[in-house]
Amino acid sequence: MAAIALFGIVAYRALPVSDLPTVDFPTIQVRAGLPGGDPGSMAASVASPLERQFTTIAGVDSMISQSSMGNTQVTLQFDLGRPIDSAAVDVQTAIAEDELLTEVRLPGPRDDAGSAYASLEQPASGYAIVGVAAVVIRSAAKGPIGASAIAITGVGPVAYRASAVEKALAGSDGSAAAIAAAAAHATDGVTVNSDIHADREYRTEMARVFTVRAIEAALARLG
């Protein structure tokens, strides 16, 4: 049985703004170990079957494999529109039944990125009526925002990327006015939940408010 390790690199969406930091494509590395296997055997018996399985996964832009004594590594690069979490699920599903997923790793934060999470919690349960996670990339303290990733939970039927907010932030100066203008798009294209904890209008407004707070907190961590 080959042992499989899955490595996911969380990337941010590249935005069409010149002179801004380069943003990596979503990338996943799969490593397989087979004690005693020579490089040729690893390539034929481990790498090739994995590659055949991975070609069925949507959004794969490129695939490179490397085999050495007892080890094989397959690197999958996805297009920017493919969420890394769902891609990782598809990769895990593609691994054969007699292989074992042993590890998932994420890299440390970038030096030019700040992140924060802000939420409105239901007092009794701690359940997030609205939760917003923000990652903002900025190459200089007073420079334009290069890219961002904004994820919102509790507002719609499922958690989602607020792509309209990300687009509005791109290239902005990160001022209070720019953040407010971007946060106004927090629920664009989303069917907002309405339940006993919060009606649709209140959730919509809180999505805007907590998107502002998360972005501001993320920028504050950049100094």
CA separation, residue 117 to residues 62, 130, 141 (Å): 33, 11, 20
Q: What is the pTM of this model?
A: 0.57
Q: Tell me: the pLDDT tens digits for 143-155? A: 899 989 999 999 9
Examine the pLDDT at 16 and tell me if it is beyond 70.
no
Find the CATH number of the domain harbouring 68: 3.30.70.1430
Residues 214 and 123 in one domain: yes
Examine the pLDDT at 179 and tell me if it is beyond 90.
yes
pLDDT the model gives residue 8:
46
Find the CATH number of the domain harbouring 189: 3.30.390.50
Residues 26 and 49 in one domain: yes
Examine the pLDDT at 129 and tell me if it is beyond 80.
yes
Most confident among 53-57, 81-85, 101-105, 175-179 (mean pLDDT): 175-179
Q: What is the mean pLDDT of residues 10-37?
A: 57
Domain that holds residue 71: 3-105
Residues 98 and 178 in one domain: no
Residues 15 and 61 in one domain: yes
Counting the structural domains of the chain, the total is: 2
Residues 61 and 142 in one domain: no
DSSP annotation string for the chain: --EEEEEEE------S-SS----PPPEEEEEEE-TT--HHHHIIIIIHHHHHHHTTSTTEEEEEEEEETTEEEEEEEE-TTS-HHHHHHHHHHHS-TTSEEEEEE-PPPPTTEEEEEEEEE-TTT--EEEEEEEEEEESSTTS-EEEEEEEEESSSSS-EE-HHHHHHHTT----HHHHHHHHTTTTTT------SS--HHHHHHHHHHHHHHHHHHHHHTT-
Residues 92 and 158 in one domain: no
Domain boundary among 84, 105, 126: 105
Domain boundary among 48, 73, 105: 105
Domain boundary among 57, 72, 105: 105
Examine the pLDDT at 18 and tell me if it is beyond 60.
no
Among residues of the chain, what percentage have pLDDT more than 90? Answer: 38
Examine the pLDDT at 174 and tell me if it is beyond 70.
yes
